[in-house]
Amino acid sequence: SGGRIGVVGSNMVDLVTYIDRMPEAGETLAAPSFSMGHGGKGANQAVAAARLGGDVMLVSRVGDDLFGEGTIRNFQESGIDARHVRAVPGTQSGVAPIFVELSGENRILIVKGANEHLLPADVEAAAEDLRRCSLILLQLEIPLETVYHTIDWATREGIEVLLNPAPATPELDVGRVLAATFLVPNQTELAIMTGLPTATREEAERAARVLVEKGVRTVIVTLGAEGALLVTAERVRHVPPVTVRPRDTSGAGDAFIGAFAQHYVRSRDIEAAMAWGATYAADSITRPGTQKAFADAAGFEAFRAGLTGARGA
């Protein structure tokens, strides 16, 4: 059955408005449609891995409100071990107002709420269960102290860590995350972490190499419509994109990471897991929403079968 995946991260309720264009300051504008769904980078990655059959536990915090109750129910329904998802009295659940344009391009605001209360002590409290994981996923929608603490703890325990340094923040102390086994930034996050240009694939490779030279074992740069780039001390590999017509790209990075993790803990094959993640992310952007757009194992199998057919035709 393979390894267990632990996620120490955020959850949000996504409030997605599909727009023709953003209103100007002081302007009121009608928009075509709205959809509410479960999101948050930690939760999205956990749900993607679990929908594909991964064995997933989550450490997260919700508010003592209706969104929090619904969020915990959603984890349970997704087959995630949510015993370490708790409500913080007197707080609001995290929410993310998201605006999606016709092109599929998205703009996301996050109000972290209860996610700000996920502290190092909460990771300690979950340590006995986290110890049974072979890979721990982290993002940056919880306090940075909790991220640093989890990396240090996992390193001492000999557990591999994947850090997705998202959303990009100049506050991240890069020196404190170099022990992560995997660092998975997009181009913006990589530029902020290194202070280097990352617009082209060559630039991204050079910037990733700087992190590898500082001690990160494996850097995987997600390149959006260009696929993904693997950079380690020994090799550089480009995983080509799976081209689809995008409907809503929000959550694509999370789909990639959740699927990557689910494949990797079984296969230990980084390149195969990247191709798996890229394909899962491509499928997800053909549908609106974040978690709502993540396929289960059967749905993903059907998408993959369609790709093979198209190539053979």
Q: Which residues are catalytic?
A: 254
Minimum gap (Å) between residue 26 Cβ and ligand RIB: 27
Q: Helical H runs in the chain?
A: 41-51, 66-77, 120-125, 127-130, 144-157, 187-194, 201-214, 252-267, 270-284, 297-312
Minimum gap (Å) between residue 203 Cβ and Na ion: 27
- What sign does the dihedral 133-139-143-149 (CA atoms) show? positive
Q: x-or-dash pattern for ligand RIB, window 288-307, by CB under 6 A?
A: --x-----------------
Cβ proximity to ligand RIB: between 92 and 232 the closer is: 92
Using the contact rule CB under 6 A, the part of the chain among 34-42, 186-194, 221-229, 230-238 near ligand RIB is 34-42
Q: x-or-dash pattern for Na ion, window 250-289, by CB under 5 A?
A: ----------------------------------xx----
Cβ proximity to ligand RIB: between 111 and 210 the closer is: 111
Give the C-alpha separation, 175 to 195, whole Å.
14
Q: Of 4, 41, 149, 263, which one interacts with ligand RIB (CB under 6 A)?
A: 41
- Helices first, then strands: H and E counts in the chain: 10, 13
Using the contact rule CB under 6 A, the part of the chain among 124-132, 231-239, 245-253, 301-309 near ligand RIB is 245-253
Give the C-alpha separation, 272 to 14, whole Å.
31
Q: x-or-dash pattern for ligand RIB, window 63-102, by CB under 6 A?
A: ---------------------------------x------
110 near ligand RIB, rule: CB under 6 A: yes
- Which DSSP state fits 286? T
Using left for φ > 0, alpha for ψ between -120 and 50, and beta otherwise, residue 227 falls in left
46 near ligand RIB, rule: CB under 6 A: no
Query: Nearest Cα to 208, choosing from 174, 241, 176, 242?
Result: 174
Give the C-alpha separation, 282 to 256, whole Å.
9
Give the C-alpha separation, 87 to 93, whole Å.
9
Query: Nearest Cα to 254, choosing from 147, 138, 171?
Result: 138
Give the C-alpha separation, 8 to 82, whole Å.
11
Q: Of 6, 9, 39, 165, which one interacts with ligand RIB (CB under 6 A)?
A: 39
- Which DSSP state fits 27? -
Minimum gap (Å) between residue 125 Cβ and ligand RIB: 24
Identify whether the C-beta of residue 196 lies closer than 8 Å to the C-beta of residue 163: no
* Residue 39 site contact among ligand RIB, Na ion, none (CB < 5 to 8 Å, cut-off depends on kind): ligand RIB
* Residue 110 site contact among Na ion, ligand RIB, none (CB < 5 to 8 Å, cut-off depends on kind): ligand RIB
* Residue 254 site contact among ligand RIB, Na ion, none (CB < 5 to 8 Å, cut-off depends on kind): ligand RIB
Q: Of 14, 160, 189, 283, which one interacts with ligand RIB (CB under 6 A)?
A: 14
* Residue 6 site contact among Na ion, ligand RIB, none (CB < 5 to 8 Å, cut-off depends on kind): none
CA angle, 9 as apex, 65 and 95 as ends, to 5°? 40
Q: What residue ranges bind Na ion (CB under 5 A)?
A: 248, 284-285, 293
Q: What residue ranges bind ligand RIB (CB under 6 A)?
A: 12, 14, 39-41, 44, 96, 108, 110, 141, 250-251, 253-254, 290
